């Protein structure tokens, strides 16, 4: 199952083009250690453990497949621990069915072929529940150390992955509380450090709008990556909680049923609370850590079907696969990550003397990564390397002077046509217009936010 899940995730690695977040990974990982530290002091400090890992990984290359391979491996690791955890909580069948359902989720195909830390976070969370089960089952020093290490990994993979840890408290009881609290306290130290860093850099997520409770209605789709499949698995997962309650309730008071339910529902509840109490932070991808819980609980429910657990397991995996086909195809398209730079490069048909202006300077990284032929003159570029405290590039501010003597200029920005041509959300567009140019062709990559490519000519 681990190999199948990893292979399913990796199968989409070479299709969808890298998006801005993945290009940021390349930018961060390609810097010197001193440069990486400088970056972390200003932005993305909570990603520092992942960036450190990728710093050494990219020394062997920065191809799409190579960049995304660690995430696919992490998905395989998560599936392996799901099988083991399912066996411990209910039966081997529950673990196998849960891991199979996990493998067919479109969200797994997305984040398993994504050069960010979300797949790592999912694997660390499954590992933490597995380690906790071992420690509770037969308490011992080494097992509590393993659990503490697992908690530390959760904290280091993604800051908001820690939102699953309160679910662990459902297992707290007399005789274990002190050792469990000690392991959580020591393992949670990275979260304290990274949380302080992240709070100081909250300007980096200032683009996130405030959300209301209505986002919970989209939670099944977010976890599964497909609406129909998500609703089906969420309903089955709730039945899985009942199965666990009955099987584990004897002597455990249903603690594992509550812990698994908390794993599934607490992260979205707590993330929305953080959004309203601290700063807007509710973004779907921060909650991918709940996907293994959705699959595992559904696997437990199916394995609990009297007399016919195996046929029921095969049936739900096949039905789930069919429900997710369209979404699997979408995430494997060239524009599967919604930043289709190769499309933009095909739109830009440069003539000698053409200039190009980027609405957001960090887009330059994507064009530099994918361009395989001569590009228009980058008239605003002031340096080849990104700024030390971010992912943008130093640029000239005198747009009119930079475009002096030019008759045609290509302008590329992230967002819709309206976002650039109406209002001031993309200042560079207005500056080009004030320099004496007007748009004669504007094309958008169709999916939001997407990319817009416009050709401006001198009036």
Domain hosting 381: range is: 341-458
Q: Return the pLDDT at 8.
A: 77
Q: Return the pLDDT at 313.
A: 84
* CA quadruple 246, 251, 252, 257: dihedral, nearest 10: 0
Determine, yes or no, domain membership for 319: yes
Residues 364 and 262 in one domain: no
Instruction: Out of 331, 357, 376, pick the residue that ends a domain.
Output: 331
CA 237 to chain centre: 23
User: What string of pLDDT tens digits covers the 459 residues of the chain?
Assistant: 678 878 877 777 778 899 999 999 999 999 999 999 999 999 999 999 999 999 999 999 999 999 999 999 999 999 999 999 999 999 999 999 999 999 999 999 999 999 999 999 999 999 999 999 999 988 888 999 999 999 999 999 999 999 999 999 999 888 888 999 999 999 999 999 999 998 888 888 888 899 999 998 899 999 999 999 999 999 999 999 999 988 755 455 588 999 999 999 999 999 999 999 999 999 999 999 999 999 999 999 999 888 777 788 889 999 999 999 999 998 888 888 888 999 999 999 889 999 999 999 999 999 999 998 889 999 999 999 999 999 999 999 999 999 999 999 999 999 888 888 887 789 999 999 999 999 999 999 877 778 999 999 998
Q: How distant, in Å, are the alpha carbons of 23, 329, 367 from that of 63?
A: 11, 22, 15
Residues 26 and 160 in one domain: yes
Residues 100 and 182 in one domain: yes
Whether residue 145 has a cis bond before it, omega within 30° of 0: no
Determine, yes or no, domain membership for 450: yes
Instruction: Out of 280, 310, 331, pick the residue that ends a domain.
Output: 331
Burial class (CB in 10 A: 0-12, 13-18, 19+), 346: exposed
CB of 316 closer than 8 Å to CB of 97: yes
Residues 325 and 361 in one domain: no
Q: Return the pLDDT at 447.
A: 72
Residues 301 and 448 in one domain: no
Residues 205 and 131 in one domain: yes
Q: Return the pLDDT at 390.
A: 94
Determine, yes or no, domain membership for 380: yes
Q: Show the tokens assigned to 437.
A: 């140019």
Instruction: Out of 304, 331, 358, pick the residue that ends a domain.
Output: 331
Residues 271 and 370 in one domain: no
CB of 44 closer than 8 Å to CB of 24: yes
CB of 108 closer than 8 Å to CB of 102: yes
The 3-state secondary structure of 260-323 reads HHHHHHHHHHHHHHHHHHCCCCCCHHHHHHHHHHHHHHHHHHHHCCCCCHHHHHHHHHHHHHHH
pTM for the whole thing? 0.94
Residues 113 and 192 in one domain: yes
Check the CA dihedral 63-81-110-392 and report its sign.
Answer: negative
Determine, yes or no, domain membership for 336: no
End-to-end Cα separation, the chain, in angstroms: 62
Determine, yes or no, domain membership for 295: yes
Number of structural domains in the chain: 2
Residues 369 and 320 in one domain: no
Q: Return the pLDDT at 253.
A: 53
Residues 282 and 396 in one domain: no
Q: Which residues of 7-42 are buried (b: 16+ CB within 10 A; e: fewer)?
A: ebbbebbebbbbbbbbbbbbbbbbbeeebbeebbee
Strand, coil or helix: 220: helix
């Amino acid at each position: 199952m681990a190999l199948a899940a990893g292979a399913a995730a990796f199968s989409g690695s070479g299709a969808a083009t890298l998006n801005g977040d993945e290009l940021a990974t390349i930018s961060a990982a390609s810097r010197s250690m001193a440069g990486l530290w400088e970056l972390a002091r200003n932005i993305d400090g909570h990603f520092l453990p992942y960036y450190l890992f990728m710093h050494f990984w990219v020394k062997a290359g920065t191809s799409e497949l190579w960049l995304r391979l660690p995430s696919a491996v992490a998905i395989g690791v998560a599936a392996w621990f799901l099988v083991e955890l399912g066996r411990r909580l209910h039966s081997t069948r529950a673990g196998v069915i849960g891991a199979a359902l996990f493998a067919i989720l479109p969200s797994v195909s997305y984040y398993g072929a994504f050069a960010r830390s979300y797949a790592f976070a999912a694997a660390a969370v499954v590992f933490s529940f597995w380690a906790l089960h071992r420690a509770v089952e037969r308490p011992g020093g080494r097992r509590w150390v393993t659990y503490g290490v697992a908690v530390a990994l959760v904290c280091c993979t993604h800051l908001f992955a820690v939102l699953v840890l309160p679910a662990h408290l459902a297992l707290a009881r007399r005789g274990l509380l002190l050792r469990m609290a000690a392991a959580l306290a020591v393992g949670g130290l990275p979260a304290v450090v990274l949380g302080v860093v992240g709070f100081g850099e909250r300007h980096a997520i200032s683009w996130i709008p405030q959300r209301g409770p209505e986002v919970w209605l989209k939670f099944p789709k977010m976890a599964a990556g497909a609406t129909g499949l998500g609703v089906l698995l969420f309903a089955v997962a709730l039945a899985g909680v009942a199965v666990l309650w009955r099987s584990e309730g004897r002597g455990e008071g249903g603690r594992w049923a509550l812990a698994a339910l908390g794993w599934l529902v607490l992260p979205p509840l707590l993330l929305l609370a953080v959004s309203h109490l601290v700063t807007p932070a509710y973004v779907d991808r921060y909650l991918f850590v709940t996907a293994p819980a959705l699959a595992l609980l559904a696997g437990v429910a199916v394995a609990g079907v009297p007399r016919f657990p195996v046929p029921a397991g095969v049936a739900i995996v096949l039905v789930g696969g069919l429900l997710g086909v369209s979404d699997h195809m979408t995430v494997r398209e060239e524009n599967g990550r919604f930043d289709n730079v190769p499309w933009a490069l095909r739109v830009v048909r440069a003539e000698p003397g053409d200039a190009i202006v980027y609405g957001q300077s960090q887009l330059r990284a994507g064009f530099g990564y994918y361009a395989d032929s001569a590009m228009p003159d980058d008239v605003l570029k002031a340096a080849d390397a990104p700024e030390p405290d971010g992912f943008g590039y130093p640029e000239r501010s005198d747009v009119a002077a930079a475009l002096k003597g030019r008759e045609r200029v290509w302008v590329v920005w992230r967002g819709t046509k309206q976002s650039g041509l109406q209002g001031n959300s993309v200042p560079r567009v207005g500056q080009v217009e004030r320099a004496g140019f007007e748009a004669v062709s504007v094309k958008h990559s169709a999916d939001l936010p997407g990319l817009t490519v416009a050709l401006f000519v001198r009036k």
